[in-house]
Amino acid sequence: MPIYISLYGLGVDSRFWDEPEIYNPDRFTESNNIPDAYIPFGIGPRMCVGMKVGQLHAKIVLALLLRDYEIWQTKDNESVLDPRSTFTAAGNGIYLHFKEIKKIIQEEWRDGL
Ligand code: HEM
């Protein structure tokens, strides 16, 4: 029998997280981690076998983007959840601003390493 668990529901449940509506990356440090409430890759014997590859891929893409761009979202175009989606998905798209970090700054940074 398929079982669907709302990861969004778990993520905003105040029984597990302080201030669940606030974005706080420290929530995901290992010392704060509540394994049964943070399960983006599933749990148990059938959990995702590609977790480390997926995490590494995400880190590489983020590092490459953040190396070259400042990225931000403004209050007037914040994403809202699609209430009809089975998965956690933006209902109105995801609008981000990108500003290229000047090449010269990158060169100075590389030379300094
Ligand atoms: C950010 C990326 C990824 C996310 C969020 C993700 C998430 C998940 C989730 C939630 C499951 C179901 C676990 C369960 O039933 O309890 C799963 C299963 C699985 N994932 Fe991923 N996954 C990701 C990337 C990958 C990658 C890169 C691979 C392969 C290289 C992969 C291969 C698999 C496989 C083979 C299963 C089935 C495992 C089984 O049923 O025994 N996943 N994944």
- Which range of residues forms the domain containing residue 23? 1-48
Q: Is the CB of 91 under 6 A from ligand 1?
A: no
Find out whether 46 is annotated in a ligand binding site.
no
Q: Which residue has the tokens 């105040």?
A: 14
Domain termination site, one of 48, 72, 87: 48
Q: Say yes or no: 14 and 41 in one domain.
A: yes
Per-residue pLDDT 10s for the chain (113 aa) are: 988 888 888 888 999 888 988 888 888 787 777 778 888 899 899 999 999 999 999 999 999 999 999 999 888 888 888 988 888 889 888 999 998 887 667 677 778 76
Gap between the Cα atoms of 71 and 67, Å rounded: 11
The full length of the chain comes to: 113
- Three-state SS string over 6-71 comes to CHHHHHCCCCCCCCCCCCCHHHHCCCCCCCCCCCCCCCHHHCCCCHHHHHHHHHHHHHHHHHHEEE
Locate 49 and state its tokens. 């076998």
Number of structural domains in the chain: 2
Q: Say yes or no: 62 and 108 in one domain.
A: yes
Instruction: Give the ligand 1 atom nearest the CA of 39.
Output: 10
Q: Say yes or no: 19 and 36 in one domain.
A: yes
Q: Say yes or no: 55 and 41 in one domain.
A: no
pTM over 0.85: no
Nearest residue CA, atom 7 of ligand 1? 41
Q: Say yes or no: 56 and 100 in one domain.
A: yes
Q: Say yes or no: 55 and 110 in one domain.
A: yes
